[in-house]
Chains A and B, each alone.
Chain A
């Protein structure tokens, strides 16, 4: 028996890159964020070997949660093949040895930038959203100190005023992605720059959503089965992006979030933004036996929580 036989084999890096103290801190902050839905929990935020602002917040959460039995999916703008998604997936797999997938149904952990998949996520799945700016009040005040006070007081008058001004000036709500939501009837939260199409998917969802901003050092959560309501008036309603007349150029699918692809003649064609879903539709058209999950919006464009979207 030698000493080297008794020792664990030396490793250049900890499992899943982060050292145990960093992971412990992150897990504690995640638990706190789940306990206070929509509340931004500050955390130290370690530097990772990818640039800040490229998903380091989401990546830290993923690395602190991932285990050998997980299956990880990574998307950017809905696309598994996007270069940064490919890079993050490559890094997670390299540092943790997990299986990766493009199938939403098969993933236990989904790290995403700017999209929620089209197939309904189920209990036990975790969606990790990368967040550039966690602060929905940023346009009202650039100061984190003042914004924190406003959250503490639930002082969101300026958000309602902002919506009112949009209607007065433009006749419509003019917010694009990152449309603010009220979580659990307490905290106004930025859902990260997901399109408005994806906002309702967070409401009373079966899965856990974790949102993490590495550069800004804040993480927050939407626990399963929590109310998440877009800010809207009783008589003027929040509207999702119109997919009216849009048809996926590969599969003919409709009523899903489409990427608009500019054409040389000045027109546009459309392609499903959720490429994992598109991939399954294509394979099914080619006669493969593919398990398709139910989607948040059905083939008529109706949302699965009837009555949640008002018109």
Chain B
């Protein structure tokens, strides 16, 4: 094969070698360690990478030295190479194997408030003793009774009480026919599926920034967390020939539903994502509710929110400014110099009449 040019290729190859040398060797036990000890980081890379594969996410984190944007890009690029073989069966809230669910709307809820694993009520103190000795967590208390298989939805309680319209009865959705933001370009107003898929893949920091802007005062509302859930979801497939349902495993997911009082009715906002990420699902649910408003604050515009929280596109475009831009910059300089020269020629015309320096006129021609 004839290879065109070598200079640039040697330079980029050396730069990558230096980066990898600084990060040190990649070892299987290191990757396994990340998967076991950094589950929330692994969750975030899987959610924003739009690919549920804890082992690959741990590898992506290891391979990029923990640069989350790069790790997410690795997951997305890998995702482009694998065909879509099947669609999982749809699930509802009550099918989830819940480890944590709380509602801020009621003191107690049907099924009970389940605090589950959380740091919410702990003191955020560095365990400096772990720098010198191993700190082993205490064994969690035994449950008094087995957890129920599922928990009822708080929104259903609103529905029973006539505060929310009943859930629309729709035909059983065919997954393969649902709008898919990874296979269709998004257009606005977006189908609800596109919006929820985009939020599920969105960059956590971006969703938080826009959500927080809305919560802090640029929003019109102060909604209440109706329900936030951390759970495992069964991934069920149907055999293509026999139609028998079988389990493919379980995925960690989180979901949040917020509720707002509109004086004569309630309205809901919702976001779910792969992995356990309460900040993103709460912010996302607030934005989901706000994006329906006519008020034109950027955080209330679906187009603004969904475009600018896209993890790979926003970070990629940001770093592209490092690429050379000398042709475009020079094109702008030419226009600027022309404006300055025109002003100069006009000034000379005014001062010394018609006998303008011919060199200037030539340059302008």
What residues make up the interface of A, taking CB atoms closer than 8 Å to B?
Answer: 13-14, 17-19, 21-22, 25, 42-49, 51-54, 56, 73, 76-87, 89-90, 93, 97-102, 113-115, 132, 143-145, 170-178, 193-197, 215, 217-218, 239, 241-242, 244-245, 257, 259-260, 273, 311
Contact = CB atoms under 8 A, between A and B. Distances in A.
Contact of A42 (B7, B74, B83, B185): B185
A48 B42 CA distance: 21
B328 A93 contact: no
Interface string B303-346: 10001000011011111100111111111111110110011001
A194 B185 CA distance: 26
Contacts of A89: 4-5, 9
A47 B339 contact: no
Contacts of A98: 1
B311 to A, nearest CB: 9
Given A44-B185, A54-B320, A73-B4, A115 B77 contact: no
Interface residues on B, range: 35 or more
B77 A48 contact: yes
B313 A87 contact: no
Given A18-B80, A145-B303, A173-B335, A51 B73 contact: yes
B332 A177 contact: yes
B143 interface: no
A46 B313 CA distance: 11
Contacts of B81: 13-14, 17, 19
B11 interface: yes
B76 A47 contact: yes
Contact of A80 (B4, B12, B317, B346): B4
A117 to B, nearest CB: 13
Nearest to A29: B185
B3 interface: yes
A174 B334 CA distance: 9
Contacts of B261: none
Interface in B129-166: none
Contacts of B1: 93, 97-100
Interface string B27-57: 0000000000000000000000000000000
Given A47-B312, A215-B313, A217-B185, A81 B327 contact: no
B185 A45 contact: yes
B365 interface: yes
Contact of A90 (B9, B187, B188, B334): B9
A42 B187 contact: yes
Contacts of B11: 83, 86
Given A42-B185, A89-B4, A174-B336, A195 B317 contact: no
B3 A100 contact: yes
Contacts of B339: 170-172, 174
A174 B335 contact: yes
Given A19-B83, A176-B334, A176-B335, A77 B4 contact: no
Contacts of B326: 77, 259-260
A49 B342 CA distance: 47
B303 A82 contact: no
A114 B328 contact: yes
A244 B315 contact: no
B177 to A, nearest CB: 16
30 contacts: A17-B81, A19-B81, A25-B183, A42-B185, A43-B185, A44-B183, A47-B312, A48-B77, A52-B320, A54-B316, A54-B320, A54-B323, A73-B4, A86-B7, A87-B9, A90-B12, A114-B327, A114-B328, A145-B303, A171-B342, A174-B336, A177-B331, A177-B332, A193-B327, A195-B327, A218-B185, A239-B338, A242-B334, A242-B338, A257-B327
